[in-house]
Chains A and B, each alone.
Chain A
Amino acid sequence: MGKAPLLEMKNIKKDFFGNQVLTDINLTLKEGEVIGLCGENGAGKSTLMKILFGADVIRETGGYGGDIILNGEKVSFQSPFDAIAKGIGMVHQEFSLIPGFTATENILLNRESKKKSVLSDLFSDRMDTLDRKDMDTRAAEAIKKMGVNIDQNMLTSNMPVGHKQFTEIARELSKEQLKLLILDEPTAVLTEKEAEALLESIRGMSKRGIAVIFITHRLGEILSVCDRVITMRDGYVVNESETKDTSIAEITKWMVGRDVEGSDADYVTEDTGVNKKIVMSIRKLWVDMPGETVRNVNLDVREGEILGIGGLAGQGKLGIPNGVMGLYQAGGTVTFDGIDIPLNNPRRCLDSSFAFVSEDRRGVGLLLDESLEWNISFPAMQIQDKFLKKYLGGLIKWRDDAAIKEVTDKYIDELKIKCTSSTQKAKELSGGNQQKVCLAKAFALEPKLLFVSEPTRGIDVGAKALVLDALKKFNKEKGVTIVMVSSELEELRRTCDRIAIVSGGKVSGILPAGEQLEKFGELMLQNC
C-alpha cells in the first residue's frame, strides 16, 4: 500500500456548551473506500459529519478539537464551501433543490457553464450568458457517472421523491474535484428498487476512486455495499469492523449495547400488568406529520402505567402523540374509557382529560413572549374554566390573576423552576426550566392521560433527572396514565413499565422495560 489515506480524522472532540457529544473519534478512509456509519440518533454521526463538512453551526458553537487530515494536509474548513473546494461532497436528508428548475439546472446550480457576453467585461462575470448546451452535456455526464437514469429536463417539482435524491447525488458527482461523498440516510425516501439502484451507483463511484461515507439505519445495505462499518454510540466509536466479518445482529448489539454492569438502576423487568384495564386503544392510526409519518399503528395503553414509545428518529414515534392530540392530520380510531375520541380536534382531546407536552417546546409548547403565569394557567383556563371569576351569571369570565399566581408559585416550588418571579417571560428561562413549565402546564390540567414527547431533549443532566422524577411522581401519586415518547432508550427503560418500539411508522413490538437491549435494537431496525 504505502499510499497515504485520503482522509484521517484524529481525536475529534466536540461539546455543545459543556455537553460532550463526541469523544476521541478516529477515522481513516482510503481512496475509493466505502464505509458505513451507523448508530442510534444522538450517537454523534451527524455532528461528526458536520465537523468534516465545515458546517457553520460547529464554528458558532466553539469549534472542535482534534485534527482533520485530507490528502496528507491538515485542513480546517471555515464553511461548507471550503470543504466543497477540497473535494468533499455531502447529500443531506433535506433536499436542497430549486423546485422550478430542471434537473440540469439544479445539478449545476451556481456552477453553470457560461459564455462571455458584451456586458460581462463592463460589469461582472454575472452578466455572462449561460451555455445551455454545455450544461446539458455536463449534467448528462454526472447522471451517467451515477449510473441511475433520470430525465434531466424534468422540473424538480414534478419529480418523484427518489429522483430528487438522485438529482442531489448527481450534483455532487458533477463536481470534478469530488473525492469524498457523504450520504446521510439517502435511502430513507427511496423505494426498494431505487435504493438498489443507489447502492449500485455507490459501487460505481467507489470504482472511480471516490470514497463514500454512507449513513443509514438499514444495516442490510451497509453489509451489501460497504467495505467497513463503523458503529457509534454516545459520542464514541464503539466498533470498527470489516463488513465481511460481521452481521446485522452484531452491529445492532453494538449500537444499543451499554455497559450495564455496576449501574444501580432498577428496571421493570417483567410485564406485570397484563390484567390491568385498557384505558386507551389506538387502531389503524395514520398521521401526516412531516418527517415522522405514522402509517398503521395499533396500540393499547393500560390504566395507570407509564408506557414508553421509542424508536429511531423519523420512524414515526413523534407522530403518535401529535396525531392523537389533533395537531397533525390523522386518521384511524382512538377510544378512551370506551368512548371514541374524534381525531384532528385538539379541543375534544383536552376535554377528554388528555394533556400533551410537545417535543417542540419553543414552537408549540410555550408562549415565549408571555409570563410563566400565562404559560402554566392558559390551557386549564381555556379548557376547564379554572382561574376565572364569573360575573353576571357567567356571562363575563374575568381572569383571576391572584389564582393564577398562586398556582404558578405552587408549580415553581414543586418543580424547582428557576426564575426571578412568576411574571418572568418564558423565553428568558433555560431549556430545562422551560421544559418544567411545559410539564406544569400539563399538570395544571389534571389530566387522566398525559402524553409527554421528548421530555429531556436539549436539557442538562440535572434537569433531566428532575423532569423524569416529576413524571414518575405524578404517575404514582395521582394515578395518571403516562405515554412517554423519547429517542433515548435508556431513559425510557428507567422510567417506563413497558416500551413500544416504532419503526417504519408501525409498532414493531412492545417489551417490558427491563428486556435485553439487543431485543430493542432488533425491533428498532425491523421496518426501517
Chain B
Amino acid sequence: MSNKNIGDYLRRFSVPIMFVIICAVCAPISGLSPSYLANEIVTRMGRNAFLILSLLIPIMAGMGLNFSMTLGAMAGEIGLILVCDWQIVGIPGMVLAMIISIPISALLGLFCGKVLNMAKGREMITSYIISFFINGIYQLVVLYLMGPVIPIKHSTIKLPRGYGVRNTVSLLSMRQKLDNLIPLSIAGVKIPVATFIIVFILCLVIIWFRKTKLGQDMRAVGQDMEVAKDAGIDVERTRIISMVLSTVFAGIGMIIYLQNMGNIATYSSHSQIGMFCIAALLVGGASVDKASIGNVFLGIILFHTMFIVAPKAGTVITGDSMIGEYFRVFVSYAVITVALIMYETNKRKNKSRASAQLALEQEEEVNG
C-alpha cells in the first residue's frame, strides 16, 4: 500500500523532479553567479506570477489549461497602447490601462466561454484555436483600425504610413514603476515589493474564491457536469464566468508583465505568453485537472531557472548559443505534451483499474 503511494507520488511529481535535476546539472555549468540567478528569478516571479495565477480558475471549472488566456493578454496590450498614446504615465497610467482592459477582457472571455460551451469535451484544442482567431481580430484592430477609427496621435506609436501601431511601443514612462514603488533590496537582490503585494492579494482572492458558493459550483461543474446540472447548478453560466474571470486576470497580469519588461512587442508579446505560462504551471506539478497556488510558485522557480541557465549551459557545452535557446523551447513544449498525455492516459487508467478490480473479484468468486 505505502509502496504504491510512493509510486503515485513519484509519478505525480515526476515533472518537477525532472526539472530539479535539469536545473541542478545546468546551473553550475552555466557559470552564472547565485546572486544573478536569485535576482533574475525574483524579477521573473513578480513578472509572471499574476499571469499564471489566472490559469487556476478554468482548471477548477474542469475546462483544462486555458490556452486562450492570450485573449486577456491582448486586451491588456490594447489598454497599454491607448494609455501610452494619451500620455498618462506611471502608476495612474497602469491603473487606467487595467480599467480599459477589463471590459475588453470580459467581452472576450464571454465570447470564449460561449464557444467553449459549444465544444464540450474538446475545450483545450478549441481554446487554442480561439487564441489564433482572436489574434487575427487583434491584428485587424491594432494594424488597421488604430488610426482611422480609434484615434492614435503620437508618432512614436503610430506607424509612419499614418495608421496602425508600430512593432514596438515603449513603456518607458511606466517601466518598473510598480516594481520600484516600494524599493527594497535584500543581500543585493532587488525585490519588487508592490508587485508581490498585488500577487499576494490575488492569491488571497483565489483562496477566498474557492470558499464561495461560486467556487464550490465551479468545482462541482468541473468534476461532473451532468450531476451538477441535475442538482440545479447553471453549468453553462458557471463555465462562462470562469472564462471571464480568467481572461480579466490575464489582462491585468499582462499589464504587470509589460511594465516590468518596459516595452510592448505589439504583434508578438502575447503570442508565446500562453505557452510559457502553461508550461511553468505544469512544471510546478499541476495537471490538466488539478492545480494549486503552490504549483504556480514552484513552477516559476523551476521553469525560469531552467530558462535562464539552459542557453548558457548549452553554449558552454556545445559552443553554440542557439542550442540552449532551442532546448528551452523544446522543453516547454515537451512538458505540455507530457502533461497532456499523462492526463489522457490517467483518465483511461482509472477506468480500466475499476474493471480489473471487478474481473478479479469475479474470478475469485467463480473459483472460490
Contacts and interface: CB of A to CB of B under 8 A. Distances in A.
A126 interface: yes
A100 B223 contact: yes
A98 B220 CA distance: 6
A101 B228 CA distance: 12
Contacts of A130: 211-213, 216
Contact of B224 (A99, A125, A128, A286): A99
30 contacts: A80-B230, A96-B230, A96-B231, A97-B224, A97-B227, A98-B219, A98-B223, A98-B224, A98-B228, A109-B220, A109-B227, A109-B231, A110-B217, A110-B231, A110-B233, A112-B213, A114-B213, A127-B213, A127-B214, A130-B211, A130-B212, A130-B213, A286-B359, A286-B362, A288-B355, A288-B359, A295-B365, A296-B366, A329-B355, A332-B366
Nearest to A297: B366
Contacts of A96: 226-227, 230-231
Given A109-B231, A110-B220, A126 B213 contact: yes
Contacts of B220: 98, 101, 109-110
B358 interface: yes
Nearest to B218: A126
B9 interface: no
B208 A129 contact: yes
B232 interface: yes
Interface in A103-128: 105, 109-110, 112, 114, 117, 125-128
Interface hub of B217, B223, B228, B362 (most chain A Cβ within 10 A)? B362
A118 to B, nearest CB: 10
A457 interface: no
A96 B216 CA distance: 16
Contact of A117 (B212, B231, B358, B362): B212
Contacts of A286: 359, 362-363, 365-366
Contacts of B226: 96
A29 to B, nearest CB: 24
A293 B365 CA distance: 13
A386 interface: no
A56 to B, nearest CB: 11
Contact of A331 (B211, B230, B362): B362
Contacts of B214: 126-127
3 tightest CB-CB pairs across the interface, nearest first?
A286-B362, A126-B214, A110-B231
Given A97-B227, A101-B223, A109-B220, A81 B232 contact: yes
B365 A129 contact: no
A112 B216 CA distance: 9
A411 B232 CA distance: 49
A218 interface: no
A1 to B, nearest CB: 36
A458 B290 CA distance: 42
B212 A127 contact: yes
Given A96-B227, A101-B220, 10 more contacts: A97-B224, A98-B224, A100-B223, A126-B214, A128-B213, A130-B216, A286-B366, A295-B362, A295-B366, A332-B366
Contacts of B213: 112, 114, 125-130
A145 interface: no
Nearest to A80: B230
Interface residues of A, number: 29
Contacts of A97: 224, 227
Interface residues of B, number: 25
A50 interface: no
Contacts of B233: 110
A97 B223 CA distance: 10
A125 B214 CA distance: 9
B156 to A, nearest CB: 39
A284 interface: yes
Contacts of B355: 288, 329
Nearest to A118: B208
Contacts of A332: 366
A154 B228 CA distance: 19
B216 to A, nearest CB: 6
A284 B366 contact: yes
A128 B211 CA distance: 9
Interface string A38-79: 000000000000000000000000000000000000000000
Nearest to B220: A98
Nearest to B208: A129
Contacts of A296: 362, 365-366
B227 A293 contact: no
Given A98-B228, A110-B231, A293-B358, A126 B223 contact: no
A505 to B, nearest CB: 8
Contacts of B232: 81, 110
A139 to B, nearest CB: 14
Contacts of B216: 105, 112, 130
Given A101-B219, A288-B359, A296-B365, A129 B224 contact: no
B129 to A, nearest CB: 25
Given A81-B232, A288-B358, A129 B212 contact: yes
A99 B365 CA distance: 28
A523 B358 CA distance: 25
A460 B233 CA distance: 38
Contacts of A98: 219-220, 223-224, 227-228
A13 to B, nearest CB: 27
Contact of B217 (A126, A129, A295): A126
Nearest to A331: B363
Contacts of A81: 232
B5 to A, nearest CB: 14
A127 B366 CA distance: 54
A125 to B, nearest CB: 7
Interface in B338-368: 355, 358-359, 362-363, 365-366
A93 B216 CA distance: 25
A296 B362 CA distance: 8
Interface hub of A98, A100, A284 (most chain B Cβ within 10 A)? A98
Interface hub of B211, B213, B359, B365 (most chain A Cβ within 10 A)? B213
Interface string A242-262: 000000000000000000000
Nearest to B224: A98
